[in-house]
Chains A and B, each alone.
Chain A
């Protein structure tokens, strides 16, 4: 179809303008900022001092930043294992002959639609509560006093508790994508395997997994993007606890945090905060490329 150039410009203009002003310009500016010493958020460009790679060098020496990197990698690995284990389990179950698939899908996706603040409060104040909480009540009824006495939100446990609570809220989305992927695999493969006497497990390993490689790669990239940008739960569940701080939250504390947060480092400036943003983006792109290499595009057609 052909339209006059003016009409095209009129229809596309606002969206393109938004792309330039809200996405392209800030990305480039953040990149530039990461090479400057910038005393405060409202500093004019004239007040910036070029310092080369110093911000990155500062970050690489900051124990708080390095701990936050460790935290985020742990979230990626542990949370990823939890989410994918459950997402795969439910995705496979919901492609079998169980009844009420629509209901089950909606139910498992439900936590994804709940505000992170609500989910955090419910887990912190109910599930993990040490006097009337779900876990302690349940374990006490079962007579497992050692488990019932665990303080889920103390220094030692809060990181793992956060990953557990966060994963519960994320399984549904990955389950839906995997479920759709499995649904596209032709049923004759499974029928033939069933005739040959293959077990459910064999069918999963020999048919589902290999044919799902493309979908799995996509979901793994999506998870990596989500995990590397982990922020909200550090704020809503971790509540400034240093054990739950990720690079994204570290940046927020440093740049936007009110009244200078828990641990002040004099050397920190807004430019270093911009550096954190750049590092997260570079790490995400590198991970996506690496995942693409590990799981090359499938040549199988079906």
Chain B
């Protein structure tokens, strides 16, 4: 046993190095966010005690609260919309045999590899033409649409693994196909939908490209974009404590979610990779 531990020692060195780097990185930023800029530059974090003023200023002077709310709206509305569109489609593709189902599967898989850069120009013209720019709904719509192909692909596997007895018994109870889907199939497929929603939550919360194009003004800006403009302003005025506090405000929500669901995320990626 002791021998085995010694043999594995070299394996722990890179792991410990990664852990140390992560702890220093995030630990330092947390402490810096609670320090004054002078403390940061004199290498004495928290030298003047714990300062919450960096955070208070962000919400009082920089309207961080509004951008926070924007990002919550974007994330919640998009996650709901993606599941609403992708689940029924994946249900059909995963369980019903009909002519062209293989072709449709291929369409959604191929859509996943179409780069955002390629479609962004016509999408922008399209939304300008429809007078749909400049509101929160625009970016929500973009997020729903661009994430549906992955959602369909991801959920198809889950739906196809549900035994067909579930619908048969629902039919015997007199349920129509829509009622059977909502009352019987969706609850069984819930784990898949939850995992998909976790992926979408992280993806939308951290999204940058479409936000930059479709929601880069005062009223509609996402938290990540707001962070960038706040950092730009603060680094001009030399408010470094504020910069790190702003980072924490964007980082913490996704980190807290990750703490609770990291196992699910990792299982989701692992299953996807083995199947693909």
Which residues does A use to contact B, with CB under 8 Å? 1-4, 7-8, 10-12, 14-16, 18-19, 21-23, 25-27, 29-30, 33, 41-42, 89-90, 93, 96-98, 102, 104-111, 113-118, 121-122, 125-127, 131-132, 134, 137, 173, 176-177, 179-181, 184, 215, 218, 225, 228-229, 231-232, 235-236, 248, 251-252, 255-256, 270, 273-274, 276-278, 280-281, 284
**Contact at B266–A126, with CB atoms within 8 Å?**
no
Asked whether B60 is an interface residue with its Cβ less than 8 Å from the other chain, the reply is no
Asked whether B89 is an interface residue with its Cβ less than 8 Å from the other chain, the reply is yes
Interface majority SS on A: helix, strand, loop or mixed?
helix
Residues of B within 8 Å of A114, CB to CB, are 206, 251, 254-255
Instruction: In the complex, identify which listed stretch (B7-15, B49-57, B72-80, B189-197) lies at the interface while the others stay far away.
Output: B7-15
* Contacts A116-B224, A281-B118 supplied; 9 other A-B pairs, CB < 8 Å: A14-B85, A23-B149, A90-B14, A102-B263, A116-B206, A117-B250, A121-B243, A121-B247, A229-B115
A109, B18: Cα distance in complex, Å = 11
Q: Given A125-B235, A273-B121, A12 and B104 touching (CB < 8 A)?
A: yes
Residues of A within 8 Å of B139, CB to CB, are none
Residues of B within 8 Å of A115, CB to CB, are 205-206, 208, 224, 227, 250-251, 254
**Contact at B266–A131, with CB atoms within 8 Å?**
no
- Tell me which of A14, A30, A181, A232 contacts B122 (CB under 8 A): A30
**Contact at B115–A177, with CB atoms within 8 Å?**
no
| Cβ-Cβ contact count across A and B, 8 Å cutoff | 242
A151, B33: Cα distance in complex, Å = 24
Q: Given A15-B148, A96-B8, A236-B208, A125 and B243 touching (CB < 8 A)?
A: yes
**Contact at B85–A109, with CB atoms within 8 Å?**
no
**Contact at B270–A117, with CB atoms within 8 Å?**
no
**Contact at A25–B243, with CB atoms within 8 Å?**
no
Q: Given A131-B41, A137-B43, A96 and B113 touching (CB < 8 A)?
A: no
**Contact at A8–B98, with CB atoms within 8 Å?**
yes
Residues of B within 8 Å of A131, CB to CB, are 41
Minimum CB–CB distance from B177 to chain A (whole Å) comes to: 5
**Contact at B251–A118, with CB atoms within 8 Å?**
yes
- Tell me which of A98, A117, A274 contacts B15 (CB under 8 A): A98
Minimum CB–CB distance from B116 to chain A (whole Å) comes to: 7
**Contact at A132–B40, with CB atoms within 8 Å?**
yes
Q: What is the chain B residue whose CB lies nearest that of A11?
A: B88
Asked whether B108 is an interface residue with its Cβ less than 8 Å from the other chain, the reply is yes
Binary contact readout B212-245 vs A (1 if CB under 8 angstroms, 0 otherwise): 1100000000001101100100010000100110
Q: What is the chain A residue whose CB lies nearest that of B29?
A: A122
Residues of B within 8 Å of A96, CB to CB, are 8, 11
Asked whether B4 is an interface residue with its Cβ less than 8 Å from the other chain, the reply is yes
Residues of B within 8 Å of A179, CB to CB, are 270
**Contact at B205–A134, with CB atoms within 8 Å?**
no
For chain B, residues 122 to 138, give those with C-beta under 8 angstroms from any C-beta of chain A: 122-126, 128
**Contact at A29–B122, with CB atoms within 8 Å?**
yes
Q: What is the chain A residue whose CB lies nearest that of B98?
A: A8
Minimum CB–CB distance from B142 to chain A (whole Å) comes to: 8
A122, B250: Cα distance in complex, Å = 12
Q: Given A96-B8, A107-B18, A176-B266, A42 and B208 touching (CB < 8 A)?
A: no
Asked whether B172 is an interface residue with its Cβ less than 8 Å from the other chain, the reply is no
**Contact at B250–A118, with CB atoms within 8 Å?**
yes
- Tell me which of B240, B244, B258, B263 contacts A110 (CB under 8 A): B258
Residues of A within 8 Å of B188, CB to CB, are none
**Contact at A23–B111, with CB atoms within 8 Å?**
yes
Scoring B124, B205, B208, B246 by chain A CB atoms within 10 A of each residue's CB, the highest score goes to B208
A122, B29: Cα distance in complex, Å = 8
Asked whether B117 is an interface residue with its Cβ less than 8 Å from the other chain, the reply is yes
For chain B, residues 160 to 194, give those with C-beta under 8 angstroms from any C-beta of chain A: 164, 167, 177-178, 181
A149, B81: Cα distance in complex, Å = 51
Asked whether B69 is an interface residue with its Cβ less than 8 Å from the other chain, the reply is no
**Contact at A173–B250, with CB atoms within 8 Å?**
no
**Contact at A180–B273, with CB atoms within 8 Å?**
yes
Q: Given A116-B206, A126-B29, A284 and B98 touching (CB < 8 A)?
A: no
**Contact at B208–A116, with CB atoms within 8 Å?**
yes
**Contact at B123–A26, with CB atoms within 8 Å?**
yes
Asked whether B48 is an interface residue with its Cβ less than 8 Å from the other chain, the reply is no
- Tell me which of A3, A107, A278 contacts B22 (CB under 8 A): A107
Asked whether B34 is an interface residue with its Cβ less than 8 Å from the other chain, the reply is no
Asked whether B6 is an interface residue with its Cβ less than 8 Å from the other chain, the reply is no
- Tell me which of B4, B212, B262 contacts A235 (CB under 8 A): B212
**Contact at B177–A7, with CB atoms within 8 Å?**
yes
